């Protein structure tokens, strides 16, 4: 992961811009306003993609168009907007040209279900395992093939990227990871036994494998950002270093600054 001001390869002021918007009213109104000002390039011809919505929408958009190998300059028309810039119509090409680029490698999840299916998905923020019923989940956790946690009784567990460390990971009392640290966070969710285990920081290339113990009685779902697979019995998580996503931020509100601010917020 890299973070570079005015990073090489940023689109210039003559960039071809493709706008995409979430389905809700504020996002659709923003799409109409921007199209009337700048037009709307086809995705296949765009130099930059501008998602309009919330964090969930930009995550969906990045996964959908990851093969386009173009940067994303999101603008917030949702609620939190941690991965997005402030919405403004004026001088958009100049903002994009001056933006700070952050390169992210997503997590690759392979989930094996009780029925024998294999599901694969990408996650920019985190891969989480969650209990499906009133009973706590029982997980065994392997790091690079070594069983480091023979049994974790919990509501779930997650593996987070630095970009996602201020999202669900932070809510589960996991650590905030600075950009460029080449680390992943492994964080339990409401751990019951061992009660005092707070998780671990792992090198970015580590392979994390979860085995679900007693899956018939204690079923578990696996979620890669917003893609859910139910009734899993094993889940493998590893950084996909072959894929790179590029997010653009206004220099005054860079992602590195946002993550730093979160570490000092009350």
Q: For 62-81, what is each residue's pLDDT tens digit?
A: 989 988 999 999 999 988 88
Q: For the domain 107-239, what is the CATH superfamily, name and number?
A: Probable inorganic polyphosphate/atp-NAD kinase; domain 2 (2.60.200.30)
The pTM of the full predicted model, rounded to 2 decimals, is 0.82
- Residue 79: what pLDDT? 83
Give the catalytic positions in this structure: 55
Q: Fill in the DSSP letter of residue 45.
A: G
107 contacts 127 by C-beta, under 8 angstroms: yes
The CATH class of the 2-104+244-262 domain is: alpha beta
Same fold flag, 2-104+244-262 and 107-239: no
Q: Which of 63-72, 146-155, 183-192 has the lowest mean pLDDT?
A: 63-72
Which tens digit of pLDDT belongs to each residue from 30-42? 999 999 999 999 9
Which tens digit of pLDDT belongs to each residue from 81-95? 888 999 999 999 999
Domain segments of the chain as ranges: 2-104+244-262, 107-239
Question: How far is the C-alpha of 193 from the C-alpha of 189, rounded, in Å?
Answer: 11
Question: What mean pLDDT, rounded, does the chain reach?
Answer: 92
- Indicate the length of the chain as a whole number: 266
Which strand ranges, in their side-by-side order, compose the sheet holding 227-229?
200-203, 183-189, 156-160, 126-131, 220-224, 227-229
Instruction: Give how far Cα 93 sits from Cα of 38, 101, 137, 250, Å.
Output: 9, 15, 49, 12
The helix (H) or strand (E) run that includes residue 49 is strand 48-53
């Amino acid at each position: 992961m890299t973070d570079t001001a005015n990073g090489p390869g940023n689109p210039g002021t003559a960039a071809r811009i493709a706008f995409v918007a979430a389905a809700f009213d504020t996002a659709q109104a923003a799409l109409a306003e921007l199209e009337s000002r700048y037009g709307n390039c086809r995705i296949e011809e765009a130099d930059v993609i501008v998602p309009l919505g919330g964090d969930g929408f930009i995550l969906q958009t990045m996964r959908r168009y990851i093969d386009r190998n173009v940067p994303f300059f999101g603008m917030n028309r949702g609620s939190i907007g941690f991965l997005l810039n402030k919405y403004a119509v004026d001088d958009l090409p100049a903002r994009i040209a001056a933006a700070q680029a952050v390169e992210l490698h997503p997590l690759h999840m392979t989930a094996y279900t009780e029925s024998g299916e294999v599901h694969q998905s990408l996650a920019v923020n985190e891969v989480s395992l969650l209990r499906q019923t009133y009973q706590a989940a029982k997980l065994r956790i392997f790091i690079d093939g070594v069983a480091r946690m023979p049994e974790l009784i919990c509501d779930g567990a997650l593996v987070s990227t630095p970009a996602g460390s201020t999202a669900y990971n932070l809510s589960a009392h996991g650590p905030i990871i600075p950009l460029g640290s080449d680390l992943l966070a492994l964080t339990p969710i409401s751990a019951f036994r061992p009660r005092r285990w707070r998780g671990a920081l792992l090198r970015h290339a580590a392979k994390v494998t979860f085995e679900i113990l007693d899956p018939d009685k204690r079923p578990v779902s696996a979620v890669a950002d917003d893609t859910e697979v139910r009734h899993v019995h094993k889940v493998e998580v590893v950084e996909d270093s072959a894929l790179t996503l590029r997010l653009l931020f206004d220099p005054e509100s860079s992602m590195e600054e946002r993550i730093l601010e979160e570490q000092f917020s009350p």
